[in-house]
Protein backbone atom coordinates (compact mmCIF):
# COMPACT_ATOMS: atom_id res chain seq x y z
CA UNK A 1 0.00 0.00 0.00
CA UNK A 2 1.45 3.35 -1.03
CA UNK A 3 -0.91 5.71 0.76
CA UNK A 4 -2.78 5.71 4.03
CA UNK A 5 -5.08 8.70 4.43
CA UNK A 6 -7.10 8.40 7.64
CA UNK A 7 -8.32 11.99 7.58
CA UNK A 8 -9.43 11.84 3.96
CA UNK A 9 -11.05 8.47 4.62
CA UNK A 10 -12.98 10.14 7.45
CA UNK A 11 -14.14 12.77 4.99
CA UNK A 12 -15.41 10.14 2.56
CA UNK A 13 -17.25 8.30 5.33
CA UNK A 14 -18.96 11.50 6.40
CA UNK A 15 -20.62 11.78 2.99
CA UNK A 16 -21.67 7.88 2.47
CA UNK A 17 -12.09 16.55 -0.22
CA UNK A 18 6.58 31.68 -6.73
CA UNK A 19 3.12 30.37 -4.50
CA UNK A 20 2.46 33.03 -2.37
CA UNK A 21 6.23 33.32 -2.05
CA UNK A 22 5.50 36.03 0.50
CA UNK A 23 1.79 35.94 1.32
CA UNK A 24 1.95 38.92 3.67
CA UNK A 25 3.35 41.11 0.91
CA UNK A 26 0.77 40.50 -1.80
CA UNK A 27 -2.67 40.73 -0.17
CA UNK A 28 -4.84 43.78 -0.77
CA UNK A 29 -8.42 42.60 -1.12
CA UNK A 30 -11.00 41.14 1.22
CA UNK A 31 -12.49 37.66 0.99
CA UNK A 32 -14.88 37.26 -1.99
CA UNK A 33 -18.48 36.54 -1.07
CA UNK A 34 -18.36 33.21 -2.94
CA UNK A 35 -16.39 31.69 -0.05
CA UNK A 36 -17.90 30.68 3.28
CA UNK A 37 -14.75 30.78 5.41
CA UNK A 38 -11.06 31.62 5.08
CA UNK A 39 -7.71 29.96 5.78
CA UNK A 40 -4.24 31.49 5.96
CA UNK A 41 -2.55 30.83 2.58
CA UNK A 42 0.18 28.20 2.39
CA UNK A 43 3.73 29.03 1.41
CA UNK A 44 4.89 27.05 -1.60
CA UNK A 45 7.60 25.27 0.29
CA UNK A 46 8.15 21.49 -0.03
CA UNK A 47 8.83 21.19 3.69
CA UNK A 48 5.51 22.87 4.53
CA UNK A 49 3.63 20.69 2.04
CA UNK A 50 5.29 17.52 3.31
CA UNK A 51 4.47 18.33 6.93
CA UNK A 52 0.83 18.86 5.98
CA UNK A 53 0.46 15.63 4.00
CA UNK A 54 2.12 13.77 6.88
CA UNK A 55 -0.57 15.16 9.20
CA UNK A 56 -3.15 14.02 6.65
CA UNK A 57 -1.75 10.51 6.95
CA UNK A 58 0.29 10.24 3.75
CA UNK A 59 3.01 7.61 3.59
CA UNK A 60 6.58 8.94 4.07
CA UNK A 61 7.22 7.54 0.59
CA UNK A 62 5.21 10.43 -0.82
CA UNK A 63 7.18 13.67 -0.91
CA UNK A 64 6.73 17.06 -2.56
CA UNK A 65 9.87 18.37 -4.27
CA UNK A 66 10.73 21.66 -5.96
CA UNK A 67 10.87 21.63 -9.76
CA UNK A 68 13.46 24.22 -10.75
CA UNK A 69 13.27 23.85 -14.54
CA UNK A 70 10.94 22.39 -17.16
CA UNK A 71 13.50 22.68 -19.94
CA UNK A 72 15.88 19.90 -18.87
CA UNK A 73 14.19 16.47 -18.57
CA UNK A 74 17.20 15.08 -16.71
CA UNK A 75 16.67 17.64 -13.94
CA UNK A 76 13.09 16.57 -13.25
CA UNK A 77 12.27 14.45 -10.19
CA UNK A 78 11.62 10.77 -10.80
CA UNK A 79 8.18 9.13 -10.44
CA UNK A 80 6.05 12.29 -10.59
CA UNK A 81 2.53 11.47 -9.39
CA UNK A 82 1.21 15.04 -9.65
CA UNK A 83 2.39 18.58 -10.30
CA UNK A 84 1.20 21.57 -8.26
CA UNK A 85 1.62 24.89 -10.06
CA UNK A 86 1.65 28.20 -8.20
CA UNK A 87 1.26 31.39 -10.22
CA UNK A 88 -0.02 34.99 -10.02
CA UNK A 89 -3.62 35.47 -11.10
CA UNK A 90 -2.94 38.09 -13.76
CA UNK A 91 -5.57 39.81 -15.95
CA UNK A 92 -4.45 37.59 -18.85
CA UNK A 93 -5.10 34.46 -16.81
CA UNK A 94 -8.48 35.67 -15.55
CA UNK A 95 -9.61 36.62 -19.07
CA UNK A 96 -8.61 33.21 -20.46
CA UNK A 97 -10.46 31.37 -17.70
CA UNK A 98 -13.59 33.43 -18.27
CA UNK A 99 -13.60 32.43 -21.95
CA UNK A 100 -12.80 28.75 -21.28
CA UNK A 101 -15.41 28.38 -18.54
CA UNK A 102 -18.15 30.15 -20.47
CA UNK A 103 -19.10 26.97 -22.33
CA UNK A 104 -18.01 24.46 -19.70
CA UNK A 105 -20.51 22.29 -17.86
CA UNK A 106 -21.01 22.84 -14.16
CA UNK A 107 -19.55 19.73 -12.52
CA UNK A 108 -21.54 20.40 -9.34
CA UNK A 109 -24.80 20.12 -11.30
CA UNK A 110 -24.07 17.71 -14.15
CA UNK A 111 -21.58 15.39 -12.46
CA UNK A 112 -22.12 11.66 -13.15
CA UNK A 113 -20.26 9.38 -10.72
CA UNK A 114 -20.32 6.49 -13.20
CA UNK A 115 -18.35 8.56 -15.71
CA UNK A 116 -16.02 10.12 -13.13
CA UNK A 117 -12.41 10.06 -14.27
CA UNK A 118 -11.05 12.53 -11.72
CA UNK A 119 -11.84 13.44 -8.12
CA UNK A 120 -12.47 17.18 -7.93
CA UNK A 121 -13.33 19.44 -5.00
CA UNK A 122 -15.12 22.78 -5.35
CA UNK A 123 -13.19 25.39 -3.38
CA UNK A 124 -15.39 27.03 -0.75
CA UNK A 125 -12.59 28.17 1.59
CA UNK A 126 -10.83 31.42 0.73
CA UNK A 127 -7.03 31.30 0.36
CA UNK A 128 -7.05 27.49 0.68
CA UNK A 129 -6.15 26.77 -2.94
CA UNK A 130 -2.87 25.23 -1.74
CA UNK A 131 -4.78 22.79 0.44
CA UNK A 132 -7.16 21.94 -2.41
CA UNK A 133 -4.21 21.35 -4.76
CA UNK A 134 -2.71 18.96 -2.18
CA UNK A 135 -6.01 17.10 -1.79
CA UNK A 136 -6.40 16.88 -5.57
CA UNK A 137 -2.89 15.41 -5.80
CA UNK A 138 -3.61 12.83 -3.07
CA UNK A 139 -7.13 11.91 -4.17
CA UNK A 140 -6.22 11.11 -7.77
CA UNK A 141 -3.58 9.13 -9.64
CA UNK A 142 -2.30 6.16 -7.66
CA UNK A 143 -4.19 7.28 -4.54
CA UNK A 144 -7.58 7.09 -6.25
CA UNK A 145 -8.15 3.43 -5.34
CA UNK A 146 -7.96 4.27 -1.64
CA UNK A 147 -10.90 6.70 -1.72
CA UNK A 148 -14.64 6.22 -1.92
CA UNK A 149 -16.41 8.01 -4.83
CA UNK A 150 -17.95 11.23 -3.57
CA UNK A 151 -20.39 13.83 -4.81
CA UNK A 152 -18.43 17.10 -5.37
CA UNK A 153 -21.03 19.34 -3.72
CA UNK A 154 -21.06 17.20 -0.59
CA UNK A 155 -17.27 16.93 -0.62
CA UNK A 156 -16.93 20.72 -0.73
CA UNK A 157 -19.18 21.07 2.32
CA UNK A 158 -17.33 18.36 4.24
CA UNK A 159 -13.96 19.97 3.55
CA UNK A 160 -15.35 23.30 4.69
CA UNK A 161 -16.80 21.94 7.95
CA UNK A 162 -14.09 19.43 8.95
CA UNK A 163 -12.56 20.54 12.26
CA UNK A 164 -9.84 17.88 11.96
CA UNK A 165 -8.77 19.22 8.58
CA UNK A 166 -8.82 22.84 9.77
CA UNK A 167 -6.72 22.00 12.82
CA UNK A 168 -4.16 20.10 10.75
CA UNK A 169 -3.96 22.95 8.26
CA UNK A 170 -3.63 25.66 10.93
CA UNK A 171 -0.72 23.78 12.50
CA UNK A 172 1.26 24.05 9.26
CA UNK A 173 0.05 27.25 7.55
CA UNK A 174 1.99 29.60 9.83
CA UNK A 175 5.26 27.80 9.15
CA UNK A 176 7.69 28.53 6.34
CA UNK A 177 10.25 31.18 5.48
CA UNK A 178 7.82 34.10 5.10
CA UNK A 179 5.29 35.76 7.39
CA UNK A 180 1.64 34.84 6.97
CA UNK A 181 -1.02 37.56 6.48
CA UNK A 182 -2.44 38.96 9.71
CA UNK A 183 -5.96 38.02 8.62
CA UNK A 184 -7.02 34.89 6.74
CA UNK A 185 -9.63 37.00 4.95
CA UNK A 186 -7.00 39.14 3.23
CA UNK A 187 -6.98 38.12 -0.43
CA UNK A 188 -3.76 37.10 -2.18
CA UNK A 189 -2.92 37.25 -5.88
CA UNK A 190 -1.31 33.83 -6.17
CA UNK A 191 -3.16 30.63 -6.97
CA UNK A 192 -2.47 26.87 -6.78
CA UNK A 193 -3.70 24.24 -9.22
CA UNK A 194 -2.89 20.56 -9.68
CA UNK A 195 -2.12 18.44 -12.75
CA UNK A 196 -2.63 14.70 -12.34
CA UNK A 197 -3.44 11.67 -14.49
CA UNK A 198 -6.35 9.27 -14.30
CA UNK A 199 -5.01 5.76 -13.63
CA UNK A 200 -7.99 4.36 -15.55
CA UNK A 201 -7.75 6.25 -18.84
CA UNK A 202 -4.37 8.01 -18.79
CA UNK A 203 -6.03 11.41 -19.32
CA UNK A 204 -4.21 14.36 -17.76
CA UNK A 205 -6.44 16.68 -15.73
CA UNK A 206 -6.06 20.27 -14.60
CA UNK A 207 -7.75 20.44 -11.18
CA UNK A 208 -8.65 23.90 -9.91
CA UNK A 209 -11.31 24.29 -7.22
CA UNK A 210 -12.17 27.75 -8.51
CA UNK A 211 -13.29 26.44 -11.89
CA UNK A 212 -16.51 24.67 -12.91
CA UNK A 213 -14.93 21.22 -12.71
CA UNK A 214 -11.93 19.16 -13.87
CA UNK A 215 -10.35 20.26 -17.15
CA UNK A 216 -9.42 17.33 -19.40
CA UNK A 217 -6.07 18.02 -21.10
CA UNK A 218 -6.19 14.82 -23.17
CA UNK A 219 -3.94 11.75 -23.17
CA UNK A 220 -0.24 12.68 -23.24
CA UNK A 221 1.81 10.68 -25.73
CA UNK A 222 4.24 9.17 -23.26
CA UNK A 223 5.22 5.79 -21.88
CA UNK A 224 4.02 6.55 -18.37
CA UNK A 225 0.31 5.81 -17.91
CA UNK A 226 -0.20 7.11 -14.37
CA UNK A 227 3.00 9.01 -13.59
CA UNK A 228 3.59 12.30 -15.39
CA UNK A 229 6.16 12.13 -18.19
CA UNK A 230 7.74 14.54 -20.67
CA UNK A 231 4.56 15.43 -22.59
CA UNK A 232 2.63 16.05 -19.37
CA UNK A 233 5.39 18.45 -18.37
CA UNK A 234 5.10 20.14 -21.79
CA UNK A 235 1.36 20.66 -21.20
CA UNK A 236 2.12 22.36 -17.90
CA UNK A 237 4.80 24.47 -19.60
CA UNK A 238 2.28 25.59 -22.23
CA UNK A 239 -0.17 26.53 -19.50
CA UNK A 240 2.50 28.78 -18.01
CA UNK A 241 3.34 30.32 -21.39
CA UNK A 242 -0.34 31.11 -22.02
CA UNK A 243 -0.18 33.40 -19.00
CA UNK A 244 1.63 35.98 -21.11
CA UNK A 245 2.44 38.45 -18.35
CA UNK A 246 2.78 35.58 -15.88
CA UNK A 247 6.42 35.74 -14.80
CA UNK A 248 6.32 34.57 -11.18
CA UNK A 249 5.46 30.91 -10.97
CA UNK A 250 6.80 27.94 -9.05
CA UNK A 251 6.19 24.22 -9.34
CA UNK A 252 6.10 21.36 -6.85
CA UNK A 253 6.08 17.68 -7.79
CA UNK A 254 4.44 14.97 -5.70
CA UNK A 255 6.87 12.08 -6.01
CA UNK A 256 7.19 8.50 -4.83
CA UNK A 257 10.38 7.60 -3.02
CA UNK A 258 11.79 4.37 -1.68
What string of H, E and C letters represents the secondary structure of the chain?
A: CCCCCHHHHHHHHHCCCCCCCCHHHHCCEECCCCCCEECCCCCCCHHHHHHHHHHCCCCCCEEEEEECCCCCHHHCCCCEEEEEEEEECCHHHHHHHHHHHHCCCCHHHHCCHHHCCCCCCCCCEECCHHHHHHHHHHHCHHHHHHCCCCCHHHHHHHHHHCHHHHHHHHHHHCCCCCCCCCCCCEECCEEEEEEEECCCCCCEEEECCCCCCCEECCCCCCCCCCCCCHHHHHHHHHHHHCCCCCCCCEEEEEEECC
Which residues are marked as active site?
Answer: 129, 191
Amino acid sequence: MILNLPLIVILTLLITTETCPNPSAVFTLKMPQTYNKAFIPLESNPQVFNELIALLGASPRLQFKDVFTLDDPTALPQKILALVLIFPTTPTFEARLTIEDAGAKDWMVEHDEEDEDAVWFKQTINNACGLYAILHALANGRAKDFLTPMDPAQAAMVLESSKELEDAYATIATKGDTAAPQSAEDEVYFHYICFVKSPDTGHLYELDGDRKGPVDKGIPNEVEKVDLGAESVDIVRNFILQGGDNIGFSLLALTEGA
